[in-house]
Amino acid sequence: MAHDALFKPLEIGAITVPNRVLMAPLTRNRAQADGTPNEIAGLYYAQRASAGLIISEATQISAQGKGYKDTPGIYTPGHVAAWSQIVNRVHAAGGRIVMQLWHVGRISHTSLQPDGGKPVAPSAITAKSKTYVEEGFVETSEPRALETSELAGIVEDYRHAAKCAKDAGFDGVEIHAANGYLLHQFISDSTNQRTDSYGGSIHNRIRLTLEVVRAVNQVWPSDRIGIRLTPTQRSNDCLDSDPEATFGALLDELGMLNLAYVHFVEKFPGAQQDDAEKAVLKRLRDKVRSRYIGNGDYSVEEAEARVSSGAVDAVAFGRAFIANPDLPERFRTDAGLNTPDTATFYGGGNQGYVDYPFLERETA
């Protein structure tokens, strides 16, 4: 068997996974306009049930949390019912799936917001970024700064969404605090210029994220909660000036909460990393007190080497899982990989979504 280290079972908190080849969260923009997942999503996820663990596509916790056309939600009974059918199909196929909870903050557009309102953010700073609306990719809208009095409601939205995910039968949840979205915007000093108790010092800037984790922990035991972070890569115009200090403090706090895992986006496809950034990432990884999931455009050889050395516990693969629903088996047998069709990543129908071939279909 090729790449033996990737196929050793692992306990990720309370979830036992049969392999270390995890499916990363992948926005596909194929939900209904009201955030209800389409039925075909059940087939898409069930096809990929051989992943050690599936992390669902980013799923907004509220109507305000939406930032892209046709992304799913998890805050209404209809959302719960549709996701429940998807989860049941994954479980019937022998898989495990957690839901990624998402609020985009300023990475949105007025056309996507309730009553055409402004997106919300820690501070009224427009992102130099784009989002995806009916007309295609457009510049993000100018946000408004959240009032201090509104933040308890944001935390409650996370708690409510976590409860909805539990009602839908998921195996756990992942809190999305990465990629320049709302929680990351509060963490980073480039996007958070508040002067209240949620801005200024590192302690204040990580406050909202910790409050969200504790609220989700009211619904889920900590060993079924993960969190996704992007400490060192600029994403959606969001990067902290001292990521080692900021994320080091956050990881110290998270270490006391006994989470199932921490999921780092170490680098984005095509991005460059210098030795200084790699050193910061290593020192931050050393602070993680739970399972560590690496995500960074890994090849199978890199994944094998880093799991073998103990540098990571598991690796989350994104684009490779889009095009290869049976990715673990392809790794196990050193088979070739299908090439992803980037034109069908976002939006559309079945093409480029549920029609990629499996190994057995190629060799039958």
pLDDT of residue 364: 37
Q: Which domain holds residue 115?
A: 4-363
Question: What tokens does 40 get?
Answer: 């075909």
Q: At what angle do helices 207-216 and 243-255 cross, to 10 degrees?
A: 30
How far apart are the C-alpha atoms of 137 and 329, rounded to whole Å? 35
Q: What is the CATH number of the domain that holds 118?
A: 3.20.20.70
Spatial contact of 30 and 40, defined as CB atoms under 8 Å apart: yes
User: CA-to-CA distance for 281 and 219, rounded, in angstroms?
Assistant: 31
At residue 363, the pLDDT reads: 41
**Residues catalogued as catalytic:** 181
**Torsion angle, alpha carbons of 131, 132, 135, 138, to 10:** 10
Instruction: List, as one string, the DSSP characters of 229-291.
Output: E-SSS-BTTB--S-HHHHHHHHHHHHHTTT-SEEEEE---TT----HHHHHHHHHHHTT--SE
Helix (H/G/I), strand (E/B), else coil: 22: strand
State the DSSP string of 87-139: HHHHHHTT--EEEEEE--TTS--GGGSGGGPPPEESSS---S-EEEETTEEEE
Please tell me the predicted confidence (pLDDT) of residue 2: 73
Residues 6 or more apart from 346 whose CB is under 8 A from it?
27, 28, 29, 132
Q: How far is CA 137 from the centre of its chain?
A: 21
- Mean pLDDT, 10 residues at a time, the chain of 364 residues: 90 98 98 97 98 98 98 98 98 98 98 98 98 94 98 98 98 98 98 98 98 98 98 94 98 98 93 90 97 96 97 97 98 96 96 95 44
Contacts of 158 (CB under 8 A, 6+ apart): 61, 101, 103, 175, 212, 215, 216
How far apart are alpha carbons 307 and 206 in whole angstroms? 30
Task: Note whether 110 and 101 are within 8 A (CB).
Answer: no
3-state DSSP assignment of residue 10:
strand
**Rounded Cα distance, 166 and 311, in Å:** 31
Q: Model-level pTM?
A: 0.97
Which pLDDT does position 198 carry in this prediction?
A: 98
Number of domains in the chain: 1
Two structure tokens written together for 336: 């070739």
Burial group, residue 275, by CB count within 10 angstroms (0-12, 13-18, 19+): exposed
pLDDT score for 129:
96
- Beta strand pairing call for 173-177 and 97-102: parallel
Q: What is the separation, in whole angstroms, between the first and last Cα of the chain?
A: 21
* Predicted local confidence at residue 273, as pLDDT: 86
For the chain, helix (H) and strand (E) counts, in that order, are: 12, 14
**pLDDT confidence of residue 362:** 44
